[in-house]
Amino acid sequence: MDYKPWMDLIKPEDMPNDDLRFIAESAGIKSALALIFCSPGLTVSIPKNPFREIKEKYIMSQYDGRKYTVNRLAIECDLSQRYVYKIIKKNLHKKHNLPKPEK
């Protein structure tokens, strides 16, 4: 998208719908304009937890068995300690080919 000088006049309230207005307010006018001009007519779905698998891989690559590390990973990945432990337990069972853990 080529940014033109007239686009400096665009404000979030000028966006054509509430979704784009929200994007303009939270991610900036240029982000909203990029979506408008680069993907017209597309319906975009934004998943709630788009990087879950990447976070799991990261947690398993960093986990060293210490509670301190679990705390650090919970903060870094914006997860609860309990959820980090759940990821570790699930992946350790997978790694050792054990039956799926009960809830």
Instruction: Determine the pLDDT at residue 69.
Output: 97
Angle at 8 between CA 45 and CA 28, to 5 degrees: 30
pLDDT class for 98, splitting at 50, 70, 90? low
Angle formed by the axes of helices 67-76 and 81-95, nearest 10° = 110
The model carries a pTM of: 0.67
Direct distance between the N- and C-terminal alpha carbons of the chain, in angstroms, rounded to an integer: 49
Mean pLDDT for 30-34 is: 95
pLDDT class for 93, splitting at 50, 70, 90? confident
Instruction: Give the tens place of pLDDT for each residue, 1-18.
Output: 888 999 999 999 999 999
Instruction: Determine the pLDDT at residue 13.
Output: 97
Give Cα 38 distance to the centre of its chain: 21
Instruction: Give the tens place of pLDDT for each residue, 63-82.
Output: 999 999 999 999 999 999 99
Which pair of tokens denotes residue 73? 């990973």
CA atoms of 37 and 15, how far apart (whole Å): 12
If you average pLDDT over every residue of the chain, what do you get?
92
